[in-house]
Structure 1
Amino acid sequence: MHRSRLYALLIDTPRDEADQAAAFWSAALGVRAEPYAPEPQFTSLHGGLPGLVLAVQAVDDAPRFHLDIETDDVAAETARLVGLGATPVTQWQECRVLRAPGGHLVCVLPVESAPEVFDAEARTWP
């Protein structure tokens, strides 16, 4: 058995437009934009999506939105989602990137949230 939960919505933006996108979303949502020091390609939009992380991610690709799912077992959660119809795309650090039916990206990553949040909100899977 393993557990997982929706962790984040990422606004993927071409790298040369990321600062402008972060400023736009910050003003549009009335929230603070702040660089995420450990990973410089991310700009957090604090409080933009209560209960979840919302951030602009600078990418070398087309603009899109994608979801991050955090889990206590990346391999098991990846296998579960593949079993539901997702297809593996790539791996970045410990994150597994999948394409869901319909073409949307989903990243599966180790638990990032506070333990009490993960424990309270994660679903348990066989």
Structure 2
Amino acid sequence: MHRSRVYALLIDTPEAEAAQATAFWSAALGVRSEVDPQYPQFIGLHDALPGIVTAVQSVDDAPRFHLDFETDDVEAETARLVAIGATEVTRWQECRVLRVPGGHLVCVLPVESPPEVFDAQAKTWP
């Protein structure tokens, strides 16, 4: 058995437009933004969606939205999502990038939330 939950909604934005997109989303959602010093390609939109990390992600690709699933077993969660129709696209560090039916991307990553948040919100899968 393993556990997982939706951890983040990422607003993927071409690098040249990330600052403008961040300004727009901050104003539209009425929240402050902050660059993650450890991962400067992520600009957090604090408290935009309570309980879900929301951020603009500077990418070298087309604009889109994607979800991140956090899990206590990346391999098992990847296998679960593949079994219901996703296909693995690539790997980045410990993360797996999947394309789901409809063409959207999702990422599967190790637990990032504080343990009490993950324990309270994660679903258990067989």
Q: TM-score, normalised by structure 1?
A: 0.99
Aligned to 1:37: 37
**Match runs of 1:57-96 below 5 Å:** 57-96=57-96
- Partner deviation per Cα, 1:15-62 (whole Å, 9 max, x = no partner): 000011001100111000000111010000000011100000000000
**Match runs of 1:15-54 below 5 Å:** 15-54=15-54
Q: Does residue 115 of the first structure (1) align with residue 115 of the second (2)?
A: yes
User: Structure 2: which 5+ runs fail to align?
Assistant: none
Runs of 4+ in 1 over 2 A off after TM superposition: none
> Which letter maps to 1:14?
P
> Which letter maps to 1:118?
F
- Partner deviation per Cα, 1:94-125 (whole Å, 9 max, x = no partner): 11000000000000000000100000000000
Tell me the number of residue pairs that the alignment of Structure 1 and Structure 2 aligns. 126
Tell me how far apart the structure 2 counterparts of residues 85 and 124 of structure 1 sit (CA, whole Å): 19
Tell me how far apart the structure 2 counterparts of residues 57 and 16 of structure 1 sit (CA, whole Å): 12
- Partner deviation per Cα, 1:55-102 (whole Å, 9 max, x = no partner): 000000000000000000000000000000000000011110000000
Q: TM-score, normalised by structure 2?
A: 0.99
3-state SS, counterpart of residue 19 of structure 1 = helix
The Cα RMSD (Å) is 0.4
> Which letter maps to 1:17?
E
Tell me how far apart the structure 2 counterparts of residues 2 and 38 of structure 1 sit (CA, whole Å): 28
Percentage of pairs with the same residue? 78
User: Structure 1: which 5+ runs fail to align?
Assistant: none
